[in-house]
Amino acid sequence: MDLEKLKERVLTLVPEAEFEENKQFVTFFVPAGKLHVTTMRLKDDEDTAFDYLFCQSGTDMGKYLMVVYHLESTKLGHAIVLKVKTEDRENPAFDTVCDIWRTAEFHEREIFDLLGIRFNNHPDLRRLFLDENWVGYPLRKDYKDEVNIVEF
Amino acid sequence: MKEVIHTPVPSVEEEEYHINMGPQHPSTHGVLRLVVTLQGEIVMKLKPHCGYIHRGMEKMCEKDTYPQIIHLTDRMDYLSMHINNHAVCLLVENALQIEVPERVKYIRTIMDELCRIQSHQLWWASFGMDLGGLTCFFYGLRDREKILDIWEESTGARFLQSYYTPGGLMWDIHPDFQKHTKEFLKYFKKKIRDYEKILSGNVIFRERSRNIGLMTKEEAISYGVTGPSGRGSGWSCDVRKHHPYALYDKVEFKEILYQEGDTLARYMVRMDEMYESMHIIEQLIDNIPEGDFSAKMKAVIKLPAGEYYQRVESARGDLGIYCISDGNKTPYRMKFRTPSFSNLSILDHISRNLKIADLVAIGGSLDLVIPDIDR
């Protein structure tokens, strides 16, 4: 599917989606509530068929926290980027996509570990790298660690 | 008199129990801990515990300039060091739209393929050792040494070389580089026949590795298992073919695919890939054009604000770097999508209901490098 058609398809699925200018991929901000439904449709529809989640990452953008999904179709060869964001820093949460792509299970645990974003309905949401009783989320921009991080 | 209560003791076959494999276990190839739930000697499930050597690389990158980040990526997947460097260099070059000299592309492609060969050699060595063939370990390391010698001559280091820089190379290749590489190819073509004889054609080995750790193509895609492990299940996922970089669209090579999806298929993919890598080097080694070994770069590299994604095919699979820049000399956010991380996630699924001895074979066939998981 060419990029214009892909754009239209996402907008018909979620009219609230915001298009973002990006040279490499078609990029959309999807409302958090519609994330699961959108991704499910994008995977299942035959002419989109995004069956490979090749990167899932979280970022602290200062004003908001965001999770980015890089999707590719192994059959059709096209790619898309979906993003969700939340301004809630105390208790951020999104729906899990690990029932759609199993690789998300580990990626979501990593994001939970390092950014403190929870994923609803995740089967095993524990810290992945850090100790269970570690305080704070290191990849957040306001994370302070006076012992391990040396400021220049 | 007290009544004695006899509680029936379940036999070993019925009772579930847990054992720790790792963090220091030879077959986990590093500090990875697998908590295995067993019934008798059948694996019921396993939980990987990571993080023993997590260094917070993504956080460190936020304080480092792009040329400094290259030195960190060496330490991610330490067996694909050149290829990891390549990913960062391509990211910067594509973002700044810098065309690197033809000579650089040739040298980088050759170095990447040498890197793939030595990685597969070490994998072959340790995989053989995991399955009881200690000779493999000595053979593999003996031949890998030759590649390290070639690198030492040109790059000044044997292991963590950081030879690529944004725009080109740290310095030019040694005058004897071509001669020694050709000598190595001639040498290794004979030696790889020994590899085939000692392991690929070995009945015990084939019987131990066939039909275990079965992974379908759909599972491989869903779990994001890329590289030789994914191609052993018939998934065409070679980044060099699908998103070519450097000279991969000019050289001729086959993407190795096997349909069986078992441990033996993943083994065969890597063996055949070594031949393909040698074939790629042969096409390039005599034609390295004269010229500069680096494009002109500014002293301070700043990427324009925006988002960049770069994929390369490391020896283990699809390595992706996702970079958000705010226009400064350090990235705002750097995410490494490493192949071993995703490949580990399927280990639980494909080793269930098999014997614990098979787990060692399956783990070896996924070719996990632990610093690549922990970053």
Domain ranges of chain B: 54-338
Nearest CB to B221 within list A27, A74, A128: A74
Tell me what the mean pLDDT of segment B224-236 comes to: 91
B114 neighbors B274 (Cβ within 8 angstroms): no
Domain ranges of chain A: 3-91
pLDDT at B7 over 70: no
What pLDDT was estimated at residue B294? Answer: 85
Tell me what the mean pLDDT of segment B324-350 comes to: 90
A35 neighbors A82 (Cβ within 8 angstroms): yes
B333/A68 Cβ within 8 A? no
Task: Evaluate the omega torsion of the peptide bond into residue B23 and state whether it is cis, within 30 degrees of 0.
Answer: yes
Here the tokens at position A98 are 């690990």
CA-wise closest residue to B372 among B61, B84, B125? B84
What pLDDT was estimated at residue B297? Answer: 83
* DSSP designation for A138: T
Chain centroid to Cα B336, Å, comes to 14
Residue in the block written with tokens 């699908």? B242
What pLDDT was estimated at residue B335? Answer: 92
The distance in angstroms from the start CA to the end CA of chain A is 49
Count of A-B CB contacts under 8 Å = 77
Residue B114 Cα, gap to closest chain A Cα (Å):
26
Provide the CATH number for the domain formed by A3-91 in this structure: 3.30.460.80
Domain at B54-338, CATH homologous superfamily: Cytochrome-c3 Hydrogenase, chain B (1.10.645.10)
Long-range contacts of B125-128 (CB under 8 A, 24+ apart): B126/B29, B126/B364, B127/B267, B127/B364, B127/B365, B127/B367, B128/B198, B128/B199, B128/B205
Please check whether residue A24 touches B, CB under 8 A. Answer: yes
A23/B306 Cβ within 8 A? yes
Q: What is the pLDDT of residues A92-128, one digit of tens each?
A: 989 999 889 989 999 999 999 999 899 988 888 888 8
B320/A106 Cβ within 8 A? no
B308/A52 Cβ within 8 A? no
Mutation target for A interface from B62, B335, B336, B373: give the one with most A CBs within 10 A.
B335
Residue A101 Cα, gap to closest chain B Cα (Å):
5
Tell me what the mean pLDDT of segment B39-68 comes to: 88
Handedness of CA B353, B359, B361, B367 (dihedral sign): positive
Residue B62 Cα, gap to closest chain A Cα (Å):
10
Q: What is the pLDDT of residues B267-321, one digit of tens each?
A: 999 999 999 999 999 999 988 888 888 888 888 888 888 899 999 999 998 999 9
Q: Residue B107, SS3?
A: helix
Nearest CB to A103 within list B224, B311, B332: B224
Q: For residue A55, report the phi and psi dihedrals to the nearest 5 degrees.
A: -160, 135
Write out the E strands in chain B.
Answer: 16-21, 33-39, 42-49, 164-165, 168-169, 306-314, 317-325, 333-337
CA-wise closest residue to A77 among A43, A38, A46, A49? A49
Please check whether residue A102 touches B, CB under 8 A. Answer: yes
pLDDT at B1 over 80: no
* Residue at A123: amino acid letter: P
Q: Mean pLDDT across chain A, nearest whole number? A: 86
Mutation target for B interface from A20, A23, A25, A52: give the one with most B CBs within 10 A.
A52
Q: Which residue of A has its CA nearest to B343?
A: A103
Q: What is the pLDDT of residues B254-278, one digit of tens each?
A: 889 999 889 999 999 999 999 999 9
What pLDDT was estimated at residue B185? Answer: 92
Long-range contacts of B139-147 (CB under 8 A, 24+ apart): B139/B191, B139/B194, B139/B195, B139/B198, B140/B195, B143/B187, B143/B188, B143/B191, B144/B118, B146/B184, B146/B187, B146/B188, B147/B114, B147/B117, B147/B118, B147/B121, B147/B184
Q: What is the pLDDT of residues B87-124, one digit of tens each?
A: 999 999 999 888 899 999 999 999 999 999 999 999 99
CA separation for the pair B88, B84 (Å, rounded): 7
What pLDDT was estimated at residue A111? Answer: 92
Nearest CB to A74 within list B235, B320, B374: B235
pLDDT at B8 over 70: no
Mutation target for B interface from A63, A76, A103, A128: give the one with most B CBs within 10 A.
A103
Centre a 10 Å sphere on the Cβ of residue A147 and count the other Cβ atoms it contains.
5
Q: What is the pLDDT of residues B237-255, one digit of tens each?
A: 899 988 898 889 889 898 8
Tell me what the mean pLDDT of segment B135-159 comes to: 90
What pLDDT was estimated at residue B339? Answer: 92
- Residues of B with CB below 8 A from A128's CB? 50-51
CA separation for the pair B30, B42 (Å, rounded): 24
B58/A114 Cβ within 8 A? yes
Tell me what the mean pLDDT of segment B331-342 comes to: 91
Centre a 10 Å sphere on the Cβ of residue A82 and count the other Cβ atoms it contains.
25
Confidence of residue B40 (pLDDT cuts 50, 70, 90): confident
Q: Which residue of B has its CA nearest to A43?
A: B222
CA separation for the pair B331, B342 (Å, rounded): 24
Q: What is the pLDDT of residues B172-213, one digit of tens each?
A: 888 999 999 999 999 999 999 888 888 888 888 888 888 888
Q: Mean pLDDT across chain B, nearest whole number? A: 88
Please check whether residue A29 touches B, CB under 8 A. Answer: no
Residues constituting chain A: 152
- The percent of residues above 90 in pLDDT, for chain B, comes to 34
B224/A52 Cβ within 8 A? yes
Long-range contacts of A102-109 (CB under 8 A, 24+ apart): A102/B219, A102/B222, A102/B223, A102/B345, A102/B346, A102/B349, A103/A53, A103/A56, A103/B222, A103/B223, A103/B224, A103/B342, A103/B345, A104/A53, A104/A56, A105/B345, A106/B341, A106/B342, A106/B344, A106/B345, A107/A53, A107/A56, A107/A57, A108/A56
Residue B89 Cα, gap to closest chain A Cα (Å):
17
Checking ipTM against 0.90, whether it exceeds it is: no
pLDDT at B11 over 70: no
- Residues of B with CB below 8 A from A54's CB? 224, 311, 318, 320, 337
Tell me what the mean pLDDT of segment B143-154 comes to: 91
Tell me what the mean pLDDT of segment A58-80 comes to: 89
B344/A106 Cβ within 8 A? yes
A70/B344 Cβ within 8 A? no
Tell me the C-alpha to C-alpha distance, in Å, between residue B289 and each of B102, B139, B248, B285: 7, 34, 16, 10
A152 neighbors A135 (Cβ within 8 angstroms): no
A105/B345 Cβ within 8 A? yes
- Residues of A with CB below 8 A from B324's CB? 59
Residue B220 Cα, gap to closest chain A Cα (Å):
9
